[in-house]
Chains A and B, each alone.
Chain A
Amino acid sequence: MTADEITSTLQDWLTEKTGAAIAPDQHYAEVREVDSFDVLALVLFAEKTYNVKFAASDFEDPRFGTIAGLASLIHSRL
């Protein structure tokens, strides 16, 4: 599985949930339709889908603020 494939899956999921067209490199906070509960739900979806676990310290990583960044973090752990 490539990072692009993960990006695409996460992007589709978030768009389906929020109705927002969000670009892979766009910070969640720039998208009006995405709020912190959506971010939390996205993390839970990613953990379940890719069988990865994030620790509190992981979220300090600035990559975490975008779909592409989150996908690359997940990909590095597969």
Chain B
Amino acid sequence: MNDTIAADAAVVDYSPSNGERIERREPGSGRLVSTYPSGTAEDVNHAVDAASSALRAWSDLPAAERSALLLRAADLIAENESRLAETLTREVGKPIGQSRAEVREGVALWRYAAASLRSLHGEFYPALANDTQAFTVFEPVGVVGLILPWNFPFIVSAERLPFILAAGCTVVIKPSEYAAGNAFEIAEILDRAGFPNGVCNVVSGFGHAAGAALVASPRVAMISFTGSTENGRRVMEAAGRTLKRVSLELGGKSPVVVFADAAFDRAIEGVISGFTYNAGQCCIATSRLLLERSAADEFKKRLITRLAAIRGGVAVAQMQPAATEPQYRRVAEFLEVGRNEAVLLYGGETDGSARAMPTVFEAVPRDSRLTTDEIFGPVLSIYLFDSEEEAIELANDTPYGLAACVWSGDVSRALRVARRIRAGRLWINSAQENFPEMPIGGMGASGIGREAGTAGIRTYCEIKSVIMKSL
């Protein structure tokens, strides 16, 4: 800890201008994890000053040198896996194995961004006219404001930060007030890796203060926001006042379609992880199960048996808690909605304060909030279909378009259905697997833009056309 403001260097902490700090306590146990500065507009301005000052030198650095720094950061992140995972588990309540896996996935993303940077290139047109040739170049968009969520604070950062830096942009990170630890740890790691001062800055605090100031700043060229659709709309509206670019990964109500010819054992594992991973606090959670009617009874029976296996080993008191108290209350509220409007097939129990067992409802009306709203908890709703057309219609009956899964033994049919489902990420006979090469993002109410993968660096670039005539 020290009193240097984050903006002056990638340091572990700073003193906010208002002197206030935010306590973060462990979900479930309530034990204190740490306190973080409650950043103000003044702190954000200071951070943006530093990011703006560092921009030119950073973007002028040869790609090979920027790439080497990113690789060094990846190595240090790997070396610090235990520490980063511990923070993640303590702040979000994830099982430690999951946190470690997320850190390893993050290292792969940092390495991928470093490699991609070396091959970033424009297009060359040698003969647009007899005396004219032209080319395009990618240039960094400028200072980026990176607003991170509380559910996956590490991996969401890894899907964006190395690509932002690879593009030659500088950044001001505003982590969630519920999970700021990893952002400070990463800033410290970048400092140790040798990143120049001001390239990466962290201002922790609340959205209405630090977040709003970042979005409003005319010197911030782009905002990358991950969070709810409601807050994404607010960010986009505010960013519009200064004509900022935005990249938004927002909410979802994603379908998992299971045909009668699917490999049930694998599909059941996919369905379970799809709605329970991270206690359901996952934007790509597949929380609507669309089942082909002819196989529905058998599938439901086997699904419940598998869920009972979890129950047998781990009682509700040991389940992953909701990361925040408001989130637990939201899940509990939806369990009540389900009891009133649908048929409870499995689960429904809570510990009354933080945890809910995986819960399955069937006979859920299409207009129920259980069907239409993102819950962010381990709650699955089942719907039946009789035909491929009906499955597609059900899958697309949502304003969201973030993710989807299709399970079928007929790959041609799975591909047909996959092509017609409106979603940014789609798995066939698989669930929730991610690779650094694959871009992520949503359609419709699930967001705008793509992060990571082949789109990752370009998202944070402007394209400049250079047209050149012979003398």
Contacts and interface: CB of A to CB of B under 8 A. Distances in A.
Contact of A65 (B269, B304, B306, B313): B313
Contacts of B317: 29
Interface residues of B, number: 25
A42 B311 CA distance: 13
Contacts of A32: 95-96
Given A18-B97, A33-B97, A44-B269, A39 B305 contact: no
A39 B309 contact: yes
Given A36-B319, A44-B265, A44-B269, A54 B97 contact: no
Given A29-B314, A40-B272, A44-B269, A35 B95 contact: yes
A59 B97 contact: no
A55 interface: yes
A12 interface: no
Interface in B237-284: 265, 269, 272-273, 276-277
Contacts of B315: 29
B308 A59 contact: yes
Nearest to A18: B97
The 7 closest A-B pairs by CB, nearest first: A59-B312, A39-B313, A35-B95, A29-B318, A64-B312, A56-B308, A59-B308
Interface string B310-328: 1111110111100000000
A29 B313 contact: yes
B98 interface: yes
Contact of A35 (B272, B308, B309, B320): B320
Contacts of A57: 308
Contacts, number: 69
A33 B96 contact: yes
B356 to A, nearest CB: 13
B318 A56 contact: no
Interface string A30-69: 0011111111101110000000001111111100110000
Nearest to A37: B273
Contacts of A34: 97
A58 B97 CA distance: 27
Nearest to B95: A35
A42 B319 CA distance: 17
B346 to A, nearest CB: 9
A74 to B, nearest CB: 13
